[in-house]
Amino acid sequence: YYDEMPEEVDWIGCKNQIDVAKEKGVEHIVLVSSMGVTPAKNTPENTLNKIGGGDILVWKAKAEEYLREQGIDWTVIHPGGLLNKPGGERELVLGVNDELLDTFEDRGATRAIPREDVAELVVQALRYKDLVKNKSFDVVSKAPGDGKVTDDFYKLLSELP
């Protein structure tokens, strides 16, 4: 994937899924993207844009823009680095507009999050869709044992601007 297909996966693949969802009458789409898509961070120097020469963040940003233009409710989740670690063992930390890329340490967090926690957040975004309707947000986690394990997703998502 990283060596040869970011445009196909992160732009064309997302666009195709959005089109089919809209055609089938889906009322709310949750898209998992990546931190780093804001113009200030989505630069040629960004590591993700260098992998395979594929401009991964450029294509992800294009898919997000396309989703916002479709006239259906949407939520975009921008996780930090994905970990192959168990979920449900950490405090999740939310932010917006890539602020966590610069402030995660100040908030006692790491720059990463387990994949299982991202999947749970997608489910909770659909459960509490009125709290996240037409919003994008970033998410990372604290290390296991630091902070309080996130189990109240209503409270967590209610804190979004």
What pairs with residue 113 in β-bridges?
Answer: 82
d(CA 33, CA 63): 9
- Strands 81-83 and 28-32, by their bridges, are unpaired
* The token pair that represents 69 in the structure block: 């233009």
Give the CA radius of gyration of the chain.
15
User: How many CB atoms within 10 Å of residue 152?
Assistant: 11
* Alpha-carbon torsion angle 45, 48, 49, 54, nearest 10: 150
The residues annotated with a catalytic role in the active site are 34
d(CA 143, CA 145): 6
